[in-house]
Amino acid sequence: MSKLIQAISHKTIWLHWIVGVLIIILLITGLYMVEFGGNELYLWHKAIGVVIILPVLFRIVTRINEGFPTPVSPQNKWVENLTKSTHLLLLIGTLLMPLSGFLMSALGGYGVYIWRIEIVERKIHPLDFEKVVPINEMISSLGQNIHYWIGYVMLATLTLHVAGALKHHFIEKDKTLARMLSK
């Protein structure tokens, strides 16, 4: 039984880092595209956004089955609640970000691709080949707003998450960060 628990724990740690690194890449490229119009990044941003859905779903199922990790060191109630809220927001955000991006792109008529593999067809105006025809402009716009605002919520929550991990490591000097790096 101990080996099974170790295997599950190891899988959870890998999922944490895979999803975490991919979300950070998506947030950085998303910010860059919003601020500087980096259109050359859309192909990669969309592809990673679609690909990340599977490990995110697997991570959420794993988290539901295992629950949140128990704190390494005792925490007062408000810190414990803040930690759980942060973890929950990150889980919800990692699901809502790719789903809202998918809705924005697919229903906006722009299509969805995993690199050059077409998942949802791009809708082009029959008389003007440069013009994209939205499939459902209202839902696409809703997806765009959710994607935009959740992105900023994710940035703030991720910053809090990293700050908490660093606080545990450098101030409290407990094994929280080591637990996430050593297995």
**Mean of pLDDT values over 87-97:** 97
Exposed, middle or buried by CB within 10 Å (0-12, 13-18, 19+), for 76?
Answer: exposed
* Total tally of structural domains belonging to the chain: 1
What is the biggest distance separating any 2 CA atoms in the chain, rounded to whole angstroms?
Answer: 66
CATH at 87: 1.20.950
**Mean of pLDDT values over 27-43:** 91
pLDDT digits 0-9 by tens, 57-71? 999 998 998 888 888
Range of the domain at 112: 2-182
The reported pTM is: 0.88
- pLDDT(175) > 80: yes
pLDDT of residue 22: 97
Residue type, 88: L
Pair 112, 105: CB distance under 8 Å: yes
Segments of the chain assigned E as strands: 112-114, 117-120
